[in-house]
Amino acid sequence: MTSPSRRNQQRLHLRRAILEAASRAFADKGYEQLSMRKLAAELECSPGTLYLYFRDKDELLRGVVEESFADLLKTLRAIPDEGDPVRHLKMKLRAYIEFGLRNPNHYQCAFMLPPPDTGERPYKPHPAFDELVQGLRTCVEAGLLPEMDLEMTSQVIWSCIHGLTALLIARPAFPWVVQDNLIDGLIETATAGIARPAATQTEGARHGISRTRART
């Protein structure tokens, strides 16, 4: 007889397998073209099995998105704080981009597919976005960045890193420069634009995270 703990592990494993298959299918086919029946066929199981875990396609997509955000938040919070707020912020920006590139299907579901209209208003940002806001706040409180509208600046920077992540996922055949240099260049440009004018170059040099420079 299978123990309750083993059955629970099996259910969790199957649920994760469903979410993984759904993330690929949503990214490949789009929300409108995917049905629970088509997904069941890809998983070689009955549609009824899917309905044991998810009420409908909307709930399935929300499950993929929630898992993606949870993994992203875990990744960002795992970055060690070495006492340099600007460097810590830049490391989080790079980790965000690298997370999207490692998990392109989940990233597309979370950030590049229109969410189903559930009628829920207003939209509440996920705690993963708060990591960016808090990172900027820490830099301001340490006197390394000027006073600013934290929400607006966070959205500006997020727009930058999301734009690059989405382009690298959607246009891999474009003749990009060395990816590490491209990511570093974007982060340096985005953060230099909000630095104290007189300290932009010195702070950028002191807090830079460029792997290329680190090797020279």
Domain boundaries, the chain: 1-54, 63-215
**DSSP type of residue 116:** P
Q: What is the pLDDT of residue 179?
A: 97
Q: Per-residue pLDDT tens for 160-201?
A: 999 999 999 999 999 999 999 999 999 999 998 887 554 444
| Average pLDDT estimate for 46-68 | 91
Phi-psi region of 212 (alpha: psi -120 to 50; beta: other; left: phi over 0): alpha
Q: What is the pLDDT of residue 205?
A: 42
Q: Is the pLDDT of residue 62 over 70?
A: yes
Global model pTM greater than 0.85:
no
Q: What is the pLDDT of residue 33?
A: 85
Mention every residue, 6+ apart, whose C-beta is less than 8 A from residue 43: 17, 18, 21, 49, 50
Q: Decide whether 1-54 matches 63-215 in CATH topology.
A: no
Q: Per-residue pLDDT tens for 90-126?
A: 999 999 999 999 999 999 998 988 766 666 655 677 8
Which CATH number is 1-54 given?
Answer: 1.10.10.60
| Contact by Cβ (8 Å): 128, 99 | no
| Average pLDDT estimate for 58-68 | 90
Mention every residue, 6+ apart, whose C-beta is less than 8 A from residue 179: 168
The alpha-helical segments, DSSP class H, found in the chain are: 4-29, 36-43, 47-51, 57-77, 85-102, 104-111, 127-141, 150-170, 179-192, 200-207, 211-215
Judge: domain 63-215, CATH 3.10.450.50: no
